[in-house]
Amino acid sequence: MAWDFSTEPEFEAKLAWMREFVREEIIPLETLDLDPATFDRITAPMKEQVKEQGLWAAHLEPELGGGGFGQVKLGLMHEVLGQCRFAPGVFGNNAPDSGNAELLALGANPEQKDRWMHPLLRGELRSSFSMTEPGAGADPTMLSTRAVRDGDEYVINGHKWFSSNASIADFLIVMVVTEPEAPPHSRMSMIVVPTDTPGVNILRDIPVMNHPTHYPQLDGGHAEIIYTDVRVPAENLIGNPGDGFKLAQQRLGPGRIHHAMRWLGQSKRAFDMLCERAVSRETHGSVLADKQMIQDFVATSAAEMAAARLLTLQAAWVMDTVGAANARIEIGMIKYWGAKVLHDVIDRAIQVHGSLGFTGDLPLEQMYRDARAARIYDGPDEVHKATVAKRLLRGYTPVTVPTEHIPTRRDEARKKFADQLEAVTANR
Ligand SMILES: Cc1cc2nc3c(=O)[nH]c(=O)nc-3n(C[C@H](O)[C@H](O)[C@H](O)COP(=O)(O)OP(=O)(O)OC[C@H]3O[C@@H](n4cnc5c(N)ncnc54)[C@H](O)[C@@H]3O)c2cc1C
């Protein structure tokens, strides 16, 4: 199958529009301390412009109001949007709502789509994905929150945390054990729980590294929730009982492409700051750009970002051509490679700015704190590395003598070319 690195001119024009729009309209908002109402008032006309461009909620298929772009184009789009934390929201595809809409598009029935997904896409509702528990995260087979069928209802009991946006969400998609006797990956289901259902007790937004001291006003924080005898209609279950793990895998595949490309948008912004500082700051008789150690920062960052970009677009291309299930290795690689590149490029950008890089006068310190989480959320790096390694190792069989063992190969080669070697010896 052909591998084409070019972008269609029509989509390139859209990307150019997005680049300017994000730079001129959205990034300036970062510098203002806006309350949610003012933020909504300022961004409402921006969202209309995005809709006019046909770029609103572009992650879904056209019949659901999306662009039907496929993962490669969506990846390129997320690279632009990733530059600014407000941009995905203005384009109707901010996490976790975008992933939840994709999940509902995959697994929900028509009534559930009408009730939850379409309003989500129109930006009328907000959502949260409530899976991780204090006692279980990287290994979802250890989740213990239970939903027990009682007549036409499920009754949910359990303890979740890190449910991003839950404190501002209208509904939660909760991962629960409904089939405790089934094999580990078929025990769980996803159930939609309106946040105002009695028994949903949002204890707190957990203080975290990127929002250590206060509740973030514009994005909800990462909530800790106790579910106590929460009753929801059985029809709120998405897909079939036991489908939870399968749906979660499908939800997270495209999401990881988008994350990785947004990380590249962030990395590029940090890289631009690094380079600008390098050509501007004089010390010890020359600009930083003349120092070989700083040149190494520039060259290494550029190569790492280029590698991350190619890996990510390749993963997107594999998904578009042969489906997400066949892209597990590629998706795993971009998660741990992309998160590390993001961290390291921002770190170098901070370093070349010296004390200024450590201050809140530049966006780098916030970017650095955000970047640290990338190695943990959506599955920690180690789990993705293990998946990649296990899958790659499946292609190998144990041997008693290494295949490349030269003496063994020499003996085989001697046998293979015995006639010719004999003829040469005879002619000497
Ligand atoms: C900013 C942020 C937002 C999040 N948003 C959400 C959300 O919206 N909804 C939600 O449900 N969850 C969310 N999470 C939770 C996230 O998905 C989990 O933190 C993640 O899956 C890891 O689970 P854990 O924290 O329980 O770590 P644990 O499972 O306790 O793992 C701890 C560490 O052990 C190591 N480890 C684990 N497994 C292996 C292995 N197989 N091999 C080697 N080492 C291993 C890794 O270093 C890992 O970091 C969020 C987390 C963060 C930081």
Cα 374 to ligand 1 centroid, rounded to whole Å: 10
pLDDT at 36: 85
Which residue from 14, 5, 3 is spatially nearest to 74, judged by alpha carbons?
Answer: 14
pLDDT above 90 (res 51): yes
| Dist CA 138 CA 415 (whole Å) | 53
Q: Ligand 1 centroid vs 252 CA: distance in angstroms?
A: 14
Rounded distance, CA 154 to CA 230, Å? 8
CATH code of 246-385, in short, is 1.20.140.10
118-173 tens-digit pLDDT? 999 888 999 999 999 999 999 999 999 999 999 999 999 999 999 999 999 999 99
Ligand 1: atom nearest CA of 208 is 1
Phi, psi of 144 (to 5 degrees): -125, -5
Query: Is 138 touching ligand 1 by the criterion CB < 6 Å?
Result: yes
Q: How far is CA 88 from the centre of its chain?
A: 13
pLDDT at 6: 84
Confidence at residue 213, expressed as pLDDT on a 0 to 100 scale: 54
| Residue 351 near residue 345, CB atoms below 8 Å | no
Whose alpha carbon is nearest atom 24 of ligand 1?
Answer: 137
Sign of CA dihedral 408, 412, 413, 414: positive
Which residue did the predictor score with more confidence, 345 or 34?
345
Task: Using only the alpha carbons of the chain, give its radius of gyration.
Answer: 25
Ranges of CATH 1.10.540.10 domains, the chain: 9-121
Question: How large is the average pLDDT for residues 79-90?
Answer: 94
Cβ(251) – ligand 1 distance below 6 Å: no
Nearest CA to ligand 1 atom 31: 138
Does ligand 1 come within 6 angstroms of the Cβ of 376?
yes
Separation between Cα atoms, residue 80 and residue 312, nearest integer Å: 14
Which residues lie below 8 Å from residue 229, measured CB to CB, with a gap of 6+? Answer: 155, 156, 157, 199
With b meaning 16 or more CB within 10 Å and e meaning fewer, what string describes 158-192? bbbbbbbbbbbbebbbbbbbbbeeeeeebbbbbbb
Q: pLDDT tens digits for 200-212?
A: 999 999 999 977 6
Question: Is 60 exceeded by the pLDDT of residue 216?
Answer: no
Query: What's the pLDDT band for 34 if we cut at 50, 70, 90?
Result: confident
The residue-averaged pLDDT of 173-180 equals 97
What percentage of the chain carries pLDDT values higher than 90? 79
235 Cα: distance to centroid of ligand 1 (angstroms): 30
Residue 337 phi/psi, 5° resolution? -70, -45
* pTM of the model as a whole: 0.92
Q: Does 161 sit in the ligand 1 pocket, CB within 6 Å?
A: no
Beta bridge pairs of residue 410: none
Q: What is the 3-state secondary structure (H, E, C) of the chain?
A: CCCCCCCCHHHHHHHHHHHHHHHHHHHHHHHCCCCHHHHHHHHHHHHHHHHHCCCCCCCCCHHHCCCCCCHHHHHHHHHHHCCCCCHHHHCCCCCCHHHHHHHHHHHCCHHHHHHHHHHHHCCCCCEEEECCECCECCCHHHCCCEEEEECCEEEEEEEEEEEECHHHCCEEEEEEECCCCCCHHHCEEEEEEECCCCCEEEEEECCECCECCCCCCCCCCEEEEEEEEEEEEHHHEECCCCCHHHHHHHHHHHHHHHHHHHHHHHHHHHHHHHHHHHHHCEECCEEHHHCHHHHHHHHHHHHHHHHHHHHHHHHHHHHHHHCHHHHHHHHHHHHHHHHHHHHHHHHHHHHHCHHHHHCCCCCHHHHHHHHHHCCCCCCCHHHHHHHHHHHHHCCCCCCCCCCCCHHHHHHHHHHHCHHHHHHHHHHC
For the residues 319-327, what does the mean pLDDT come to?
A: 87
**pLDDT-based confidence at residue 215 (cuts at 50, 70, 90):** very low
Q: Where exactly does CATH 2.40.110.10 map onto the chain?
A: 127-238
Q: pLDDT per residue over 219-233, tens digit each?
A: 678 999 999 999 999
Q: pLDDT > 70: what percent of the chain?
A: 97
Ligand 1 center to 213 CA (angstroms): 22
CA distance linking residue 27 with residue 278, whole number of Å: 23
Nearest atom in ligand 1 to the alpha carbon of residue 128 is 8
Q: Is the CB of 94 under 6 A from ligand 1?
A: no
Question: Could you give the count of Cα atoms lying within 13 Å of 321 in the half-sphere of its Cβ?
Answer: 11
**Residues contacting 225, CB < 8 A, separation 6+:** 130, 159, 160, 161, 163, 166, 172, 200, 201, 202, 203
Does ligand 1 lie within 6 Å of residue 226's CB atom?
A: no
**Does the beta carbon of 373 lie inside 6 Å of ligand 1?**
yes
Comparison of pLDDT for 153 and 2, the residue scoring more: 153
**Which pLDDT tens digit goes with each residue over 367-401?**
999 999 999 998 999 999 999 999 999 999 999 99
Please give the class, per CATH, of domain 9-121.
Answer: mainly alpha
Q: How much is the average pLDDT of 54-76?
A: 83
On the question of pLDDT at 21 being above 60, the answer is: yes
Core vs surface per residue 303-333: b (16+ CB within 10 A) or e: ebbeebbebbbbbbbbbbeeebeebbbbbbb
Atom of ligand 1 nearest to the CA of 133: 26
Atom of ligand 1 nearest to the CA of 378: 17
Residue 217 — very low, low, confident or very high, per pLDDT cuts 50/70/90? low
For the chain, the average pLDDT equals 93
Instruction: Say which residue, 218 or 53, is predicted with more confidence.
Output: 53
Strand 222-233 versus strand 153-164 pairing type: antiparallel
User: Which one is predicted more confidently, 150 or 106?
Assistant: 150
Phi, psi dihedral angles at 183 (to 5 degrees): -55, 150
Span 256-281, average pLDDT: 95
Which residue CA neighbors atom 32 of ligand 1 most closely?
Answer: 138
Q: Is pLDDT above 80 for 65? A: no
Superfamily in which the 127-238 domain is placed by CATH:
Butyryl-CoA Dehydrogenase, subunit A, domain 2 (2.40.110.10)
CA atoms within 13 A on the CB side of 107: 28
Mean pLDDT of 23-42: 92
Question: Does ligand 1 come within 6 angstroms of the Cβ of 357?
Answer: no
Distance 162 CA to ligand 1 centre (A): 9
